[in-house]
Amino acid sequence: MKALFFIIIFVVLIVACWQFVKLLGLTKVDNQTATEKENNINGWLMLGLMGFIYGLMIYSMYGAKDVLLPRASASEEGYHIDNLFVMTMTLILVVQFIMQFLLFFFSFKYRGIDDRKAFFFADSHKLETIWTVIPTIVLSGLIIYGIWTWNNVMDSSDAKDPIFIELYGKQFQWDARYAGEDNQLGSANVRFIEGTNTMGVDMTDKNSADDIPLVVNEGKFVKELHVPKGRKVIFKIRSQDVLHSVFMPHFRAQMNAVPGMVTEIAFTPVITTAEMRLNEDTKAKFEAINELRKEKGEEAVEFDYLILCNKICGSSHYNMQLKIVVDEEADFNKWLATQNTFAQINNK
Protein backbone atom coordinates (compact mmCIF):
# COMPACT_ATOMS: atom_id res chain seq x y z
CA MET A 1 0.00 0.00 0.00
CA LYS A 2 2.86 2.30 0.84
CA ALA A 3 4.21 1.78 -2.66
CA LEU A 4 0.93 3.15 -3.96
CA PHE A 5 1.41 6.16 -1.71
CA PHE A 6 4.83 6.86 -3.22
CA ILE A 7 3.47 6.44 -6.73
CA ILE A 8 0.70 8.93 -5.93
CA ILE A 9 3.30 11.43 -4.73
CA PHE A 10 5.19 10.88 -7.97
CA VAL A 11 2.07 11.54 -10.05
CA VAL A 12 1.20 14.60 -7.97
CA LEU A 13 4.68 15.98 -8.64
CA ILE A 14 4.20 15.49 -12.37
CA VAL A 15 0.84 17.27 -12.20
CA ALA A 16 2.42 20.10 -10.20
CA CYS A 17 5.04 20.54 -12.92
CA TRP A 18 2.23 20.40 -15.45
CA GLN A 19 0.45 23.29 -13.77
CA PHE A 20 3.72 25.18 -13.70
CA VAL A 21 4.08 24.71 -17.46
CA LYS A 22 0.61 26.14 -17.90
CA LEU A 23 1.61 29.25 -16.01
CA LEU A 24 4.77 29.63 -18.06
CA GLY A 25 2.84 29.06 -21.26
CA LEU A 26 0.55 31.98 -20.54
CA THR A 27 3.33 34.51 -20.24
CA LYS A 28 5.53 33.21 -23.03
CA VAL A 29 6.41 35.08 -26.20
CA ASP A 30 6.03 32.76 -29.17
CA ASN A 31 9.52 31.89 -30.27
CA GLN A 32 10.33 28.37 -31.33
CA THR A 33 14.04 28.42 -31.02
CA ALA A 34 16.08 30.15 -28.34
CA THR A 35 15.99 33.94 -27.97
CA GLU A 36 19.10 36.06 -27.70
CA LYS A 37 18.54 36.36 -23.98
CA GLU A 38 18.28 32.61 -23.55
CA ASN A 39 21.41 32.10 -25.64
CA ASN A 40 23.20 34.54 -23.38
CA ILE A 41 22.08 32.94 -20.12
CA ASN A 42 22.83 29.43 -21.29
CA GLY A 43 26.15 30.48 -22.73
CA TRP A 44 27.22 31.80 -19.36
CA LEU A 45 25.84 28.70 -17.67
CA MET A 46 28.01 26.62 -20.01
CA LEU A 47 31.05 28.42 -18.61
CA GLY A 48 29.60 27.69 -15.19
CA LEU A 49 29.33 23.99 -16.03
CA MET A 50 32.96 24.04 -17.14
CA GLY A 51 33.88 25.59 -13.80
CA PHE A 52 31.85 22.95 -12.01
CA ILE A 53 33.59 20.12 -13.89
CA TYR A 54 37.06 21.59 -13.33
CA GLY A 55 36.22 22.23 -9.69
CA LEU A 56 34.93 18.71 -9.27
CA MET A 57 38.06 17.31 -10.89
CA ILE A 58 40.43 19.30 -8.73
CA TYR A 59 38.42 18.81 -5.58
CA SER A 60 38.07 15.07 -6.19
CA MET A 61 41.76 14.68 -6.87
CA TYR A 62 42.67 16.70 -3.82
CA GLY A 63 40.05 15.18 -1.56
CA ALA A 64 40.59 11.64 -2.77
CA LYS A 65 44.34 11.54 -2.28
CA ASP A 66 43.92 10.20 1.24
CA VAL A 67 41.42 7.51 0.36
CA LEU A 68 43.31 5.97 -2.55
CA LEU A 69 45.51 2.91 -2.32
CA PRO A 70 49.00 3.59 -0.98
CA ARG A 71 51.00 5.02 -3.89
CA ALA A 72 53.82 2.55 -3.34
CA SER A 73 53.11 -0.72 -5.08
CA ALA A 74 53.66 -3.70 -2.81
CA SER A 75 54.94 -5.76 -5.71
CA GLU A 76 57.82 -5.34 -8.13
CA GLU A 77 55.53 -5.81 -11.15
CA GLY A 78 53.26 -3.11 -9.79
CA TYR A 79 55.95 -0.47 -10.42
CA HIS A 80 55.66 -0.94 -14.16
CA ILE A 81 51.88 -0.87 -13.95
CA ASP A 82 51.96 2.27 -11.85
CA ASN A 83 54.35 4.01 -14.25
CA LEU A 84 52.10 3.25 -17.17
CA PHE A 85 49.10 4.33 -15.14
CA VAL A 86 50.61 7.65 -14.14
CA MET A 87 51.70 8.34 -17.70
CA THR A 88 48.27 7.53 -19.12
CA MET A 89 46.48 9.47 -16.40
CA THR A 90 48.62 12.56 -17.00
CA LEU A 91 47.84 12.39 -20.70
CA ILE A 92 44.14 11.98 -19.95
CA LEU A 93 44.04 14.94 -17.60
CA VAL A 94 45.82 17.22 -20.05
CA VAL A 95 43.53 16.22 -22.92
CA GLN A 96 40.47 16.47 -20.68
CA PHE A 97 41.37 19.99 -19.57
CA ILE A 98 42.00 21.18 -23.11
CA MET A 99 39.03 19.53 -24.80
CA GLN A 100 36.49 20.57 -22.18
CA PHE A 101 37.87 24.08 -22.30
CA LEU A 102 37.50 24.30 -26.08
CA LEU A 103 34.00 22.83 -25.99
CA PHE A 104 32.62 25.07 -23.28
CA PHE A 105 34.53 28.16 -24.27
CA PHE A 106 33.27 27.92 -27.86
CA SER A 107 29.76 27.26 -26.57
CA PHE A 108 30.04 30.45 -24.59
CA LYS A 109 31.86 32.58 -27.10
CA TYR A 110 29.66 31.74 -30.08
CA ARG A 111 26.34 31.88 -28.24
CA GLY A 112 23.81 33.11 -30.71
CA ILE A 113 23.27 36.76 -31.59
CA ASP A 114 20.41 37.52 -33.92
CA ASP A 115 22.20 39.23 -36.78
CA ARG A 116 25.51 37.41 -36.71
CA LYS A 117 26.40 35.07 -39.54
CA ALA A 118 27.97 31.71 -38.78
CA PHE A 119 31.17 30.91 -40.62
CA PHE A 120 30.63 28.35 -43.39
CA PHE A 121 33.47 25.95 -42.72
CA ALA A 122 32.73 22.46 -43.93
CA ASP A 123 36.03 20.76 -44.32
CA SER A 124 39.76 21.08 -43.95
CA HIS A 125 41.99 18.22 -44.89
CA LYS A 126 44.89 19.80 -43.13
CA LEU A 127 43.11 19.99 -39.77
CA GLU A 128 41.66 16.53 -40.11
CA THR A 129 45.02 15.08 -40.97
CA ILE A 130 46.52 16.75 -37.93
CA TRP A 131 44.00 15.32 -35.55
CA THR A 132 44.15 11.89 -37.05
CA VAL A 133 47.94 11.71 -37.08
CA ILE A 134 48.62 13.13 -33.62
CA PRO A 135 46.34 10.69 -31.75
CA THR A 136 47.77 7.89 -33.88
CA ILE A 137 51.32 8.71 -32.83
CA VAL A 138 50.42 9.16 -29.16
CA LEU A 139 48.41 5.95 -29.13
CA SER A 140 51.17 4.00 -30.84
CA GLY A 141 53.42 4.98 -27.97
CA LEU A 142 50.82 3.96 -25.42
CA ILE A 143 50.15 0.66 -27.18
CA ILE A 144 53.83 -0.28 -27.36
CA TYR A 145 54.52 0.68 -23.77
CA GLY A 146 51.29 -1.01 -22.66
CA ILE A 147 51.99 -4.29 -24.37
CA TRP A 148 55.58 -4.29 -23.12
CA THR A 149 54.33 -3.82 -19.55
CA TRP A 150 51.66 -6.46 -19.95
CA ASN A 151 54.13 -9.05 -21.19
CA ASN A 152 56.47 -8.12 -18.38
CA VAL A 153 53.79 -8.64 -15.76
CA MET A 154 52.16 -11.75 -17.15
CA ASP A 155 55.26 -13.69 -18.12
CA SER A 156 56.75 -15.49 -15.14
CA SER A 157 58.62 -18.17 -17.11
CA ASP A 158 62.06 -16.76 -16.26
CA ALA A 159 61.42 -16.43 -12.52
CA LYS A 160 64.27 -17.65 -10.34
CA ASP A 161 63.22 -19.99 -7.55
CA PRO A 162 59.57 -19.01 -7.42
CA ILE A 163 57.21 -20.30 -4.78
CA PHE A 164 53.96 -21.90 -5.90
CA ILE A 165 50.75 -21.29 -4.00
CA GLU A 166 47.32 -22.48 -4.94
CA LEU A 167 44.36 -20.20 -4.24
CA TYR A 168 41.02 -21.91 -4.15
CA GLY A 169 37.80 -19.91 -4.25
CA LYS A 170 34.42 -21.11 -3.13
CA GLN A 171 31.23 -19.47 -1.92
CA PHE A 172 32.29 -17.43 0.13
CA GLN A 173 35.85 -17.99 1.23
CA TRP A 174 39.38 -18.39 -0.05
CA ASP A 175 41.43 -21.48 0.73
CA ALA A 176 45.09 -21.88 -0.12
CA ARG A 177 47.73 -24.57 -0.47
CA TYR A 178 51.53 -24.24 -0.54
CA ALA A 179 53.46 -26.50 -2.87
CA GLY A 180 55.75 -27.76 -0.10
CA GLU A 181 59.28 -29.05 -0.30
CA ASP A 182 59.18 -30.29 -3.90
CA ASN A 183 57.61 -26.96 -4.93
CA GLN A 184 55.04 -28.84 -7.01
CA LEU A 185 51.34 -28.79 -6.35
CA GLY A 186 49.64 -32.16 -6.37
CA SER A 187 46.85 -32.44 -8.91
CA ALA A 188 43.32 -31.73 -7.79
CA ASN A 189 39.72 -31.91 -8.93
CA VAL A 190 36.43 -31.24 -7.21
CA ARG A 191 35.60 -34.93 -7.66
CA PHE A 192 38.15 -35.76 -4.92
CA ILE A 193 36.37 -33.63 -2.32
CA GLU A 194 35.60 -35.80 0.65
CA GLY A 195 35.61 -35.27 4.42
CA THR A 196 38.55 -33.12 5.43
CA ASN A 197 39.91 -33.00 1.88
CA THR A 198 37.90 -29.85 1.18
CA MET A 199 40.04 -28.67 -1.72
CA GLY A 200 39.71 -31.87 -3.72
CA VAL A 201 43.42 -32.71 -3.74
CA ASP A 202 44.35 -36.02 -5.33
CA MET A 203 46.06 -37.73 -2.39
CA THR A 204 47.43 -40.50 -4.61
CA ASP A 205 49.52 -37.96 -6.54
CA LYS A 206 53.07 -38.13 -5.21
CA ASN A 207 53.34 -34.36 -5.30
CA SER A 208 50.44 -33.96 -2.89
CA ALA A 209 51.93 -35.41 0.28
CA ASP A 210 54.18 -32.44 1.07
CA ASP A 211 51.60 -29.81 0.09
CA ILE A 212 50.61 -27.55 2.96
CA PRO A 213 46.98 -26.47 3.15
CA LEU A 214 46.05 -23.30 4.92
CA VAL A 215 44.01 -24.80 7.69
CA VAL A 216 40.36 -23.99 7.37
CA ASN A 217 39.00 -21.80 10.07
CA GLU A 218 35.58 -20.29 9.56
CA GLY A 219 35.19 -16.60 10.19
CA LYS A 220 37.05 -13.58 9.05
CA PHE A 221 40.72 -12.81 9.40
CA VAL A 222 41.44 -16.09 11.12
CA LYS A 223 43.29 -17.42 8.13
CA GLU A 224 46.43 -15.65 7.05
CA LEU A 225 48.18 -16.27 3.80
CA HIS A 226 51.89 -15.70 4.38
CA VAL A 227 54.19 -14.87 1.48
CA PRO A 228 57.90 -14.05 1.53
CA LYS A 229 59.32 -10.68 0.53
CA GLY A 230 61.64 -10.65 -2.45
CA ARG A 231 60.70 -14.00 -3.91
CA LYS A 232 58.41 -14.46 -6.87
CA VAL A 233 55.08 -15.96 -5.86
CA ILE A 234 53.19 -17.80 -8.59
CA PHE A 235 49.54 -18.25 -7.72
CA LYS A 236 47.68 -21.13 -9.30
CA ILE A 237 44.02 -20.30 -9.03
CA ARG A 238 41.05 -22.67 -8.99
CA SER A 239 37.38 -22.36 -8.17
CA GLN A 240 35.05 -24.89 -6.66
CA ASP A 241 31.69 -23.59 -7.78
CA VAL A 242 31.21 -20.30 -9.64
CA LEU A 243 33.49 -17.59 -11.01
CA HIS A 244 35.44 -15.68 -8.40
CA SER A 245 38.23 -13.23 -8.86
CA VAL A 246 41.40 -12.93 -6.84
CA PHE A 247 41.87 -9.20 -6.41
CA MET A 248 44.94 -7.96 -4.54
CA PRO A 249 44.83 -4.21 -5.17
CA HIS A 250 47.95 -3.40 -3.14
CA PHE A 251 49.98 -5.72 -5.35
CA ARG A 252 48.27 -4.52 -8.55
CA ALA A 253 47.21 -8.10 -9.21
CA GLN A 254 43.94 -9.64 -10.29
CA MET A 255 42.92 -12.91 -11.90
CA ASN A 256 39.64 -14.78 -12.15
CA ALA A 257 39.07 -18.16 -10.53
CA VAL A 258 37.31 -20.28 -13.14
CA PRO A 259 35.72 -23.66 -12.40
CA GLY A 260 37.19 -26.29 -14.69
CA MET A 261 40.51 -24.58 -15.29
CA VAL A 262 43.61 -23.34 -13.50
CA THR A 263 44.52 -19.70 -14.00
CA GLU A 264 47.73 -18.00 -12.97
CA ILE A 265 49.07 -14.70 -11.76
CA ALA A 266 52.47 -13.94 -10.28
CA PHE A 267 54.26 -11.16 -8.49
CA THR A 268 57.21 -10.47 -6.26
CA PRO A 269 56.24 -8.81 -2.97
CA VAL A 270 58.67 -6.04 -2.07
CA ILE A 271 57.16 -4.43 1.02
CA THR A 272 56.39 -6.44 4.13
CA THR A 273 53.19 -5.89 6.05
CA ALA A 274 55.18 -4.29 8.87
CA GLU A 275 56.91 -1.91 6.46
CA MET A 276 53.64 -1.00 4.75
CA ARG A 277 52.09 -0.09 8.09
CA LEU A 278 54.79 2.57 8.44
CA ASN A 279 54.21 3.95 4.94
CA GLU A 280 53.10 7.61 5.02
CA ASP A 281 50.06 7.07 2.78
CA THR A 282 48.92 4.07 4.77
CA LYS A 283 49.35 5.89 8.05
CA ALA A 284 47.31 8.85 6.85
CA LYS A 285 44.57 6.65 5.49
CA PHE A 286 44.28 4.51 8.60
CA GLU A 287 44.35 7.49 10.92
CA ALA A 288 41.36 8.86 9.04
CA ILE A 289 39.63 5.48 9.08
CA ASN A 290 40.17 4.97 12.79
CA GLU A 291 38.86 8.45 13.45
CA LEU A 292 35.66 7.55 11.62
CA ARG A 293 35.43 4.20 13.39
CA LYS A 294 35.83 5.87 16.76
CA GLU A 295 32.88 8.13 16.02
CA LYS A 296 30.79 5.08 15.27
CA GLY A 297 32.06 3.27 18.35
CA GLU A 298 33.94 0.62 16.38
CA GLU A 299 37.37 -0.66 17.32
CA ALA A 300 40.50 0.63 15.64
CA VAL A 301 42.02 -1.36 12.78
CA GLU A 302 45.49 -1.82 11.36
CA PHE A 303 46.58 -2.05 7.78
CA ASP A 304 46.60 -5.49 6.21
CA TYR A 305 47.05 -6.75 2.68
CA LEU A 306 43.91 -8.39 1.40
CA ILE A 307 42.47 -10.64 -1.24
CA LEU A 308 39.01 -9.48 -2.21
CA CYS A 309 36.59 -11.35 -4.43
CA ASN A 310 36.00 -9.21 -7.48
CA LYS A 311 33.63 -11.28 -9.59
CA ILE A 312 30.02 -11.46 -8.50
CA CYS A 313 29.65 -14.90 -6.89
CA GLY A 314 26.48 -14.87 -4.81
CA SER A 315 24.76 -13.31 -1.83
CA SER A 316 27.87 -12.86 0.31
CA HIS A 317 30.14 -11.79 -2.52
CA TYR A 318 30.67 -8.54 -0.63
CA ASN A 319 32.40 -10.34 2.21
CA MET A 320 34.73 -12.89 0.67
CA GLN A 321 38.22 -12.06 1.78
CA LEU A 322 41.55 -13.40 2.89
CA LYS A 323 44.29 -11.61 4.77
CA ILE A 324 47.78 -11.71 3.30
CA VAL A 325 50.89 -11.26 5.40
CA VAL A 326 54.16 -10.39 3.69
CA ASP A 327 57.09 -11.53 5.84
CA GLU A 328 60.83 -11.30 5.55
CA GLU A 329 61.93 -14.56 3.96
CA ALA A 330 63.40 -15.98 7.19
CA ASP A 331 60.19 -15.28 9.13
CA PHE A 332 58.19 -16.79 6.31
CA ASN A 333 60.21 -20.01 6.37
CA LYS A 334 59.84 -20.19 10.13
CA TRP A 335 56.07 -19.77 9.84
CA LEU A 336 55.80 -22.33 7.05
CA ALA A 337 57.68 -24.89 9.13
CA THR A 338 54.98 -24.71 11.80
CA GLN A 339 52.28 -25.69 9.28
CA ASN A 340 51.28 -29.28 8.65
CA THR A 341 51.66 -31.03 5.31
CA PHE A 342 48.94 -33.32 4.01
CA ALA A 343 51.09 -36.31 4.99
CA GLN A 344 51.25 -35.06 8.57
CA ILE A 345 47.54 -34.24 8.68
CA ASN A 346 46.49 -37.55 7.22
CA ASN A 347 48.70 -39.55 9.58
CA LYS A 348 47.25 -37.96 12.67
Partner 1 sequence: MSDHHHKETFVTKYIFSQDHKMISKQYLITGIVMGCIGVFMSMLFRLQLAYPEQSFSIIEAFLGRAGEGGVMTPDMYLSLVTIHGTIMVFFVLTAALSGTFSNLLIPFQIGARDMASPFLNMLSYWLFFLSSVIMLLSLFIETGPANAGWTIYPPLSALPQAISGSGLGMTMWLVSMAIFIASSLMGALNYIVTVLNLRTIGMKMTRLPLTIWAFFVTAIIGVVSFPVLLSAALLLIMDRSFGTSFFLSDIYIAGEVLHYKGGSPVLFEHLFWFLGHPEVYIVILPAMGIVSEVLATNSRKPIFGYRAMIISIIAIAFLSTIVWGHHMFVTGMNPFLGSVFTFTTLLIAIPSAVKAFNWITTIWKGNLRMNPAMLYSIGFVSTFITGGLTGLILGDSAIDINVHDTYFVVAHFHLVMGVSAIFGMFAGVYHWFPKMYGKMMNKDLGYLHFWLTAISAYGVFFPMHFIGLAGLPRRYYNNTAFPIFDDLLHINKVMTIFAIIGGLAQIIFLANFFFSIYKGKRAPKNPWHANTLEWTTEVDHIHGNWAGEIPAVHRWPYDYSKIDENGDLWGGQDFTPQTVPIRDGEEEF
CB atoms within 10 A of CB 322: 23
Sign, CA dihedral 89-91-97-103, equals negative
Asked if 280 interacts with partner 1 (CB under 8 A), we say no
Among 255, 271, 276, 307, binds partner 1 (CB under 8 A): 255
Q: Check: CB of residue 279 under 8 Å from CB of residue 74.
A: no
3-state DSSP assignment of residue 183: coil
Single out the residue of 173, 221, 177 nearest to residue 317, CA to CA.
Answer: 173
Among 135, 204, 215, 334, binds partner 1 (CB under 8 A): 135
What's the chain's length in residues? 348
Which x/- pattern over 156-185 shows residues binding partner 1 (rule: CB under 8 A)? --------------xx--------------
Nearer to partner 1, 305 or 342 (CB): 305
Nearer to partner 1, 10 or 206 (CB): 10
Segment 15 to 74, residues that bind partner 1, using CB under 8 A:
15-18, 20-22, 24-25, 28, 30, 32-34, 38-39, 41-43, 45-46, 49, 52-53, 56-57, 60-61, 64, 66-69
Q: Which helix (H) or strand (E) holds 9?
A: helix 2-27
Asked if 89 interacts with partner 1 (CB under 8 A), we say yes
Q: How far is the CB of 166 from partner 1 (least distance, A)?
A: 14
> Could you give the CA distance from residue 340 to residue 215 in angstroms, rounded to a whole number?
9
> Could you give the CA distance from residue 196 to residue 85 in angstroms, rounded to a whole number?
44
Nearer to partner 1, 289 or 343 (CB): 289
3-state DSSP assignment of residue 255: strand
Asked if 233 interacts with partner 1 (CB under 8 A), we say no
Nearer to partner 1, 108 or 178 (CB): 108
What Rg value do the Cα atoms of the chain yield, rounded?
A: 29
Nearer to partner 1, 274 or 289 (CB): 289
